[in-house]
Amino acid sequence: MHILITDKVADEAIDMLKKAGYDVTYDEMDGKTLLREIPKYDALMVRSRTKVTSEIVKAGADGKLKVIGRAGVGVDNIDVETAAKNGIKVVNAPTGSTVSVAELAIAHMLALARFIPKADVTMKKGEWLKKQLRGNELNGKTLGLIGSGHIAQHVAKIANGLGMNVLVYSPHCTEEKAKKMGATYTTLEKLLKQSDFISLHIPHTQETHHLINRERLMLMKKNVYLINCARGGVVDEKSLYEFLKDGKIAGAAIDVFEKEPPENNKLLTLDNVVLTPHIGANTKEAQIRAGTICAEQIIKTLRGEEPEYWVNKKIMK
């Protein structure tokens, strides 16, 4: 069987597929080329760059395609429903980047609370802003987690170690689950009103699009810090810019954007914003885990076994 990989993945993942007896092709082809070539392959592995559109899925279904693997968590770059309709499984690696993204979220909190980026830039300019850079401790502060999946759970674990009080809201969360996280379950409205730091850990869907909008920003404390290491699109960036510019909230740290890379995005002009270029899962450890977990799921599918991380299982059965 033939497997096509169109985005850079860990060598360990490619080796795993080859050792399992599969013919592996690595080619970062564009969409038009993929549309033409995909019928030749039994499996496709991607990260976030490749857009697996409905046309590509249908072309694969007309050929030999049986499974699409996402070496990561989010599958918003794959037409999951069209895959299901055409009998193609979509699998992912939801635990591969858990630690890396969680650690980045915490790092962003510390960077905001202690003005680390500004301290670094001004020091390199020969300035000594010791008195001006009086920050805040995380200890004793309230962290609001929107989302209760693997990443949010690990953020809660670290936050508990730092002495933070953790609140959590998610449609999928219960009081029992929150307790296991070391958090208190609450409503979204209460979380927004009570938190000193708010960290987003949710997918971008129709339901979560601009979840953090003008109305919800108005509920937040003036000294709150907002962290988004989840997905672009869950925050209304124009409203966030206005609130940050006018000092209605203290600051924000953003790893993901509605358009990537961002173009003419006013958030990039603000001093009270810490920015990173979607590097949440970009660690050596996370890439190895994401790639090998995804490879395992593809191998199981091609062998006729049921994969653990079968994204479109419910709509296929």
Residue with tokens 């379950």: 185
**Is 209 considered catalytic here?**
no
**Is 278 considered catalytic here?**
yes
Question: Do you find a cis peptide bond into 261, omega within 30 degrees of 0?
Answer: yes
Phi, psi of 171 (to 5 degrees): -60, -20
Secondary structure letter of residue 212 according to DSSP:
B
* Residues 124/134, Cβ–Cβ less than 8 Å: no
State the number of CA atoms in the 13 A half-sphere of 30 facing the CB: 1
CB burial readout 197-214, b (16+ within 10 A) else e: bbbbbbbbeeebebbbee
- Active-site residue, selected from the candidate residues 114, 209, 210, 278: 278
Largest separation between any pair of C-alpha atoms in the chain: 66
Instruction: Provide DSSP, 143-169.
Output: EEEE--SHHHHHHHHHHHHTT-EEEEE
**Is 231 considered catalytic here?**
yes
CB burial readout 245-273, b (16+ within 10 A) else e: eeeebbbbbbbbbbeeebeebebeeeebb
Distance between CA 297 and CA 3 in Å, rounded? 13
Phi, psi of 163 (to 5 degrees): 80, 25
For 12, the token pair is: 């360990």
- Active-site residue, selected from the candidate residues 150, 154, 201, 231: 231
- Active-site residue, selected from the candidate residues 260, 305, 306, 308: 260
Catalytic residues: 231, 260, 278
